[in-house]
Structure 1
Amino acid sequence: MGGLPRQNHAAPSSLGKLIEVVMEPHVEGRPGVLELAGPAVEFGPTAATGFALILHELATNAAKYGALSAATGKLRVAWDLVGDVLTLDWKETGGPELTGPPLQNGFGSKLAKLSATGQLGGEIEYDWQPSGVEVHLTASRARLLH
């Protein structure tokens, strides 16, 4: 049996690298658009899947409707690990002015919430500021290595 050789693409095992990989198609060729700040945080495959799904959902929405849909848009993602909780803050600025939350949550937003609460043992909250959405994500340290 012929075919292409299988390639082993391991998922990134650190939060900073995962954010860079997920964001690359959305910020490529736009230096200074993405600011990342946080300590090295390692995680296992289940946590990587949960974070990847959430980050992909946030990035897609930023590219369609938020800061990454505008030439002047910027995104700052900062995280910290204190005690038993990882916190991640996603802040968009410079995009279209927001008038409030969307009228309904899409399928991706529902999956992101399920991933945050189920896989990561935390929460995800959205703050719809006129200047851009701010997202606050928490995850349990105990769930990071799964």
Structure 2
Amino acid sequence: MAGEFFAAIVVLGTFIALATHRWGFALSAAVLIILPAAATLARYVPHARPEPAPIASGADAPAARSLPWRRLRTLGLALVEFYMVDTAVTTWAPTYLHHTFASPASLVAVATLPYLVCSLLSRSAAAATG
């Protein structure tokens, strides 16, 4: 749920950057103050939370298992690699677009928009299935 929320905020911010590149400072500052304030206050909106399941003890408790450290280590390395690629795309794609294709600065946000939309869709799909 939180991943979807933050991905949606990032996509929204990219659209705002594309839409407001010609606005004056006062209008841009107003938007940049109102949106983060709304995002900050959104956590105080009440929502339903499931009650935790009771913990079994004694004869009803499941048998203790050892952790599969090799699989966890592989998963951890895959996550580190994913975030390295993620950071590289969001950092260097606008620079590549601006310097290689001589695109105007107002279109630099277009470089990361498809990536951010795909990120939002994949997180929404993962949340819906899990």
TM-score by length of 2: 0.28
Larger radius of gyration: 2
Structure with higher strand content: 1
Structure with higher helix content: 2
